[in-house]
Structure 1
Amino acid sequence: MDCAECQDELPSPAGTGRPRRYCSRACQARAYRRRRDRGRSAPRHGDVTGAWASEAASTSTPVTVDDLVEAAVALADRQGIESVTLRSVARHTGASPVRVERLIGSRDRLVAAMTQHVLSRPRRDPSAMAPGSAARIVALAQSEWRRYERHPWLVSVLASSRPPVEPAVLEHAGDVIDAFVRHGLDPADAFDRYIALSAYVQGMARLLTSEQHETRAHGVTYAAWWAAQHRRAERTGRDRRHPWIAQNTTASGADGHDDVARWFAAGLPRVVDGLLARSTP
């Protein structure tokens, strides 16, 4: 007999009793979730023929690239970029893996399309921002930061020496570089300083994603962790040797977001001022 979910061959029964339908608890749970979320007629895991039939029967409009990209973004927002594969997107949209691969091509192309999607949403026109190079660059950096707040997975995609070179990525980089050039820097120097600014924004954003990972992995919030560190410093006397510990006894929020956002806001104008300073011979 074969598993009712994945179609792998079932092991030989060990004795009498009700025959097994699934090869593992994972297949049993997958079948339950499928029936719960999409009904008993939904295709089995890996059943490409059934997936095509289900898609054709359930909707007169086949799934589109936009549908797949939006589903992938929603999945990454909930579970992280690691959860996004062509198969997982197919499962969440009800499309067949064959159709997803035909429309998207590869996971790298899917991630690139996700990046373009979230960065190309309406944004402020740089020409409408406050006059002055510093104010414009700060506004552009804040815009990038807000993208990372809404889509934490995005920083792991863009914080690379080889990010997806999509139109929206190039447009944002061009806006920042142009602001540096308007300040009087040559294009090559402007590019170097754009990279330095982006590294600051992305580095602060990585603190957010790191804290989310720590909370999920250990079940301890940032506020609880920091309170424990403060008690330990009091117990060992370290707070007397390092007075700044006693002056920062509480976290602004349980998840650390408010603290990181405050640190980012405090440092950004100072970083920009430093990047706009001309090098002395």
Structure 2
Amino acid sequence: MATGSGESVPPHARIAADIKRRIADGRLRPGERVPSTRQLARDWNVALATAAKALTLLAREGVVVAEPRVGTVVAESRTRKVPRALSDDDLTRERIVRAAVEIADEEGLDELTMRGLATRLGVATMSLYRHVGGKDELVMLMVGAVIEDFPLPGGRPESWRAGLEISARTQWAAYRAHPWLAHTTSLTRPMPSPSLLEHTEWAMRALEGTGLDPVTKMYVHTLLFSYVQGIAVNLERERRARASTGMSADEWMDAQQPILRGFAESGDHPAFGTLIRELGDDFDLDLDRLFEFGLQPLLDGLATVIGSR
């Protein structure tokens, strides 16, 4: 708790410094959860925003990282051994792509640069361009590589519904493993990736014999894809939000409660006010549950379209 000297130092900086001391003397170890925003606010008698600012400062310095479903934890040591320089024979496209996937998984796609990738591999940046044309081509190769790690079954789907459900669940699994993936593809400008095309091929095989015209088949496939992707984009958004604020989604929602209660009690939104009172503390927006909640009703809706044909 804040005491004694250092009152000229901003409160959030004093909180951050205290957490650093606890890490330095071993009271907090890599991977262990640091106090939450709410706990820091209570212990230091400061506003939630001040506590969140302290965690944000630590996150920017690489002292802590946000872990989904866990909270903010002490970061592993960033000290790395300098990798040995790879020869041209050692440096392959596959090795480059897998290293790039590792960076995107750990830090997000925005943090992936050709220079940073070269540093991880222990090569000169220009060496990468003998294998990939640039970041755009690299991202397409990354998408192909991770989609291939979640293959569709062989053969033909048992039914249109089973086939589309398999495709949706396979895509969701890939997005859960690689949250950046959902931000790489677009409905209006689809990526020409052979791995992604496998899902289109699978969907078209599933829809054979349904009597749907080609345009409707593509709409069915695109709708299902957009449903899965639309939820999945929030996986990476949450990771970014945790990194920038130092707050978990639950902690952020806790900080918004006074505002939400004000809306609910104002009388201007009576239905919303009733909802807030009825929900209490019972609602937890879980993206996996949301995916499951919507998938079957979506397929039920498509059944009415396909049955009418």
Taking the aligned partners of 2:156 and 2:217, their CA distance within structure 1 comes to 21
**Which residues in structure 2 correspond to 1:49-60 (within 5 Å)?**
54-56=85-87
RMSD over aligned Cα atoms: 2.8
Between Structure 1 and Structure 2, whose CA radius of gyration is higher? 1
As a proportion of its length, which structure holds more helix? Answer: 1
Distance apart, 1:202 and its partner CA = 0.8
2:144 to 102, 116, 122: 116
Q: Decide whether aligned partners of structure 1 residues 61 and 251 sit closer, same or farther in structure 2, where only a CA change above 3 A counts.
A: farther
- Aligned partner of 2:80 in structure 1 is 37
2:230 partner SS: helix
C-alpha separation in 1, matches of 2:275 and 2:209? 40
Q: Check conservation: 2:150, 2:174, Cα contact below 8 A.
A: no
* Distance verdict in 2 for CA 1:217–1:182, change over 3 Å: farther
1:186 and 2:229 aligned: no
Q: What are structure 2's unaligned runs of at least 5 residues?
A: 1-78
The equivalent position to 1:246 in structure 2, one of 268, 277, 291, is 277
Match of 2:133 in 1: 105
Note if contact 1:158-1:164 (Cα within 8 Å) is conserved in structure 2.
yes
**TM-score by structure 2 length?**
0.65
Task: Give the 5 Å matches for 1:204-219.
Answer: 204-219=231-246
Change (3 A) 1:225 1:163: same
TM-score (norm 1): 0.71
Q: Which residue of the other structure, out of 141, 166, 171, is the alignment partner of 2:168?
A: 141
8 Å CA contact 1:222, 1:251 repeated in 2? no
CA separation of 1:207 and 1:178: change in aligned 2, threshold 3 A: same
Q: Hey, what's the Cα distance between the residues in 1 that align with 2:170 and 2:100?
A: 22
- Asked whether the 8 Å contact 1:145–1:205 carries over to 2, the reply is yes
Counterpart residue type for residue 200 of structure 1? Y
CA distance in 2 between counterparts of 1:198 and 1:71 reads 27
Q: Equivalent residue for 1:274?
A: 301
Aligned length: 226
Q: Gapped runs of 5+ residues in structure 1? A: 1-35, 43-50
Query: What percent identity do the matched residue pairs reach?
Result: 26
**Is 1:81 matched with 2:89?**
no
Query: How far apart in 2 are the matches of 1:207 and 1:217?
Result: 15
- Give, in whole Å, the separation in 2 of the partners of 1:269 and 1:181: 21
How far did 1:251 drift? Answer: 5.0
In 1, the alpha carbon distance for the partners of 2:212 and 2:147 equals 26
Aligned match of 1:226 in 253, 259, 277?
Answer: 253
Larger RCO of the pair (alpha carbons < 8 Å, separation 6+): 2
